[in-house]
Structure 1
Amino acid sequence: MTDAPKAITLENDPLAAYCFSPAWQVGGLLFLSGQASIGADGSIVGEGDFDAQLAQTFANIERVLAAGGSDLSKVVKVTIYLTDMANFPKIVEARQRWFTPPYPADTTVEVKGLALPELMVEIDVIASL
């Protein structure tokens, strides 16, 4: 018998109004919804500042991973959405800052826009428990 999928919730989730779960646990894996530079109060952090947005995005990822019983060391897949591929070198630096070898599998794509026009990056991950 396998465990039923389980929604991961956050206390005071700033994105609850958008009607999606922060993550789902399915078996031994945690699937996170895309995380972006949204602060605890629902405001955009670092508008116009890619580095600040990236830092807040990773802080949000860490928060959701912790709520699901995981952490960055257990991330196996990363998908990164950039509104400007000129920021790709900063993504390489970010991988070295927040992950350790062996690095997670990765897909990075440039998109025309994200859910809110001020957002410059969104990241979703899959992690083990």
Structure 2
Amino acid sequence: MPLTQVHTQPDPYAPFLLSQAIALGNLVFVSGQAAIGDDGAIVGKGDFDVQAEQAFQNLDRVLKAAGTDLRHVAKVTIFLTSMAHFPKIVELRRKWFSAPYPADTIVEVSGLYSPEAMIEIEAIATLPGAQA
């Protein structure tokens, strides 16, 4: 099966030599989505709520670019620099996902790709109508 690169325009991930997502068969593997704006800079420096909202918006955007959406997310992994933000994640899962909610792993890490980044979300989703 061929790998198909998924990206948005503009693609703030291009300078890092990675794909925002890869479609393979009926699955889409989404790279970690952080609070990156179209200009490649962190949005909401020091403000977890702003960063988390931007990360979920970026996840939604790349899924749509792949031909799917948040309803088709099977698994997410959410990296936080502090578990103190866990209640906000529950709130955002309620806002952005619906039942059946995706499988989820939440991990506290000492740092992300930038010292200013506070959250990163990666996902696996299905492509509606694609054959396995």
TM range (shorter): over 0.9
The structure 2 residue matched to 1:31, chosen from 29, 32, 42, is 29
* TM-superposition CA deviations, 1:74-128 (whole Å, max 9, x none): 1010000000000011111111111111100000000000000001000001111
Deviation at 1:8?
A: 1.1
- Give the secondary structure class of the aligned counterpart of 1:4: coil
The residue type paired with residue 17 of structure 1 is P
Distance 1:53 1:9 in 2: 20
Correspondent of 1:74 among 69, 72, 75: 72
**If the length of structure 2 is used for normalisation, what is the TM-score?**
0.93
Match of 2:16 in 1: 18
CA deviation after TM superposition for structure 1 residue 22, in Å? 0.5
- Cα distance, 1:6 vs structure 2: 1.1
C-alpha deviation, 1:63, in angstroms: 1.1
Unaligned 5+ runs, structure 1: none
Q: CA deviation at 1:20?
A: 0.3
The one-character-per-residue Cα deviations of 1:50-79 (angstroms, maximum 9, x if unpaired) are: 110011001111111011001011101000
Alignment of 1:79-118 (within 5 A): 79-118=77-116
Q: 2:63 aligns with which of 65, 85, 104?
A: 65
What is the distance in 1 between the residues matched to 2:95 and 2:7?
27
Amino acid at match of 1:8: V
**Equivalent residue pairs, number:** 127
| Structure 2 portions without partners, runs of 5+ | 128-132
**Secondary structure class of the residue paired with 1:51:** helix
Deviation at 1:7, TM superposition (A): 1.2
Structure 1 CA distance, aligned partners of 2:102 and 2:15? Answer: 30
